[in-house]
């Protein structure tokens, strides 16, 4: 029954889009109870035609309010040079990702990608409902509490600048994820002029090639982070600041 419903949802979507003449539906595959629709988008004359084919797969997600939603996840060919440590700036991403900036913490064409939203402050009522740990903010601008994504909303992830901690991994230059939370916060409180952290509840996850497809259809702009991007820009200004930069960078230089 679930498979039939997914087929119906996708065919309705494809019929609506294809009816406008902007795409070509190549085929529908049913494999291991997975429904996949391959769609060819219009290509420029200079583009490799294979890079204009996007597959869509039903994705079930649970919102922060607990509501389960079924959407279409775009699967695409690998985006060249995409890797952990890059920033994703939402261009056409809805829901919790609307006007968001995501820091990629891992990326693999075989496994998928994970990331943390950097500019969604944690609502006090959300913290109370889930009984989340909320540290005392002694240095606004240096410390930040936020929502990192819709997956595992009760799990805290710490992005920080403290080097040499057990259980910590450097994702990009001077930006680490993981480590003992209490130690990180203590180090930041001791040296707020040199260290920063972001405690983010929840994470963003994409299946293999799902993020690539979203990027290729224009859902995200990509940027290499510059010093100060992750910890130095106020959350309310981050999207505007980085989107302006992303739009000013030639497409060949974004990655």
Instruction: Tell me the mean pLDDT in the region 71-88.
Output: 81
Whether pLDDT at 2 is above 60:
no
Residue-level pLDDT at 12: 40
Whether pLDDT at 69 is above 80:
no
Q: How confident is the model at residue 78 (pLDDT cuts 50, 70, 90)?
A: confident
Segment 187-227, tens digit of pLDDT: 999 999 999 999 999 999 998 888 998 998 899 999 999 99
Strands 197-206 and 143-147, sheet pairing: parallel
Residue-level pLDDT at 217: 85
Whether pLDDT at 5 is above 50:
no
- Closest by CA to 202, choosing from 119, 115, 80, 143, is 115
Residue-level pLDDT at 84: 96
- Residues linked to residue 49 through DSSP beta bridges, in sequence order: none
Whether pLDDT at 60 is above 80:
no
Residue-level pLDDT at 187: 96
Q: Look over the chain and give the mean of its residue pLDDT values, rounded to a whole number.
A: 79
Instruction: Tell me the mean pLDDT in the region 120-148.
Output: 93
Select, from the ranges 9-18, 33-42, 222-231, the one with the highest average predicted confidence (pLDDT). 222-231
Q: Is 168 left (phi over 0), alpha (psi -120 to 50) or beta?
A: beta
Higher pLDDT, 10 or 216: 216
Q: Read off the pTM.
A: 0.74
Residue-level pLDDT at 71: 55
Q: Report yes or no: 58 and 35 within 8 Å, Cβ to Cβ.
A: yes
Q: Report yes or no: 156 and 132 within 8 Å, Cβ to Cβ.
A: yes
Mean pLDDT lowest among 27-31, 161-165, 186-190 = 27-31
Whether pLDDT at 55 is above 80:
no
Higher pLDDT, 209 or 238: 238
Residues of the chain by 3-state class (helix, strand, coil), percent to 5: 25, 35, 40
Rounded Cα–Cα distance for residues 14 and 196 (Å)? 46
């Amino acid at each position: 029954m679930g498979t039939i419903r997914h087929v119906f949802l996708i065919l309705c979507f494809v019929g609506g889009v294809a009816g406008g003449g902007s795409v070509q539906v190549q085929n529908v595959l049913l494999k291991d109870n997975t429904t996949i629709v391959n769609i060819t988008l219009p290509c420029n004359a200079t583009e490799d035609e294979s890079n204009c084919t996007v597959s869509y797969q039903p994705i079930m997600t649970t919102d922060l309010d607990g509501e389960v939603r079924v959407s279409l996840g775009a699967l695409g060919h690998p985006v060249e040079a995409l890797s952990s440590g890059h920033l994703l700036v939402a261009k056409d991403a809805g829901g919790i990702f609307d006007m968001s900036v995501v820091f990629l913490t891992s990326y693999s064409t075989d496994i998928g990608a994970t990331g943390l939203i950097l500019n969604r402050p944690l609502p006090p009522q959300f913290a109370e409902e889930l009984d989340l740990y909320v540290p005392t903010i002694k240095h606004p601008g240096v410390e930040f509490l936020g929502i990192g994504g819709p997956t595992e909303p009760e799990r805290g992830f710490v992005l920080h600048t403290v080097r040499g901690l057990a259980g910590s991994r450097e994702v990009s230059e001077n930006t680490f994820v993981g480590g003992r939370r209490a130690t990180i916060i203590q180090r930041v409180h001791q040296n707020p002029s040199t260290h920063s952290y972001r405690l983010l509840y929840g994470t963003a996850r994409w299946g293999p090639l799902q993020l690539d497809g979203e990027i290729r259809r224009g859902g995200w702009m990509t940027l290499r982070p510059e010093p100060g991007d992750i910890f130095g820009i106020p959350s309310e200004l981050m999207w505007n600041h980085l989107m302006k930069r992303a739009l000013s960078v030639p497409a060949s230089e974004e990655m």
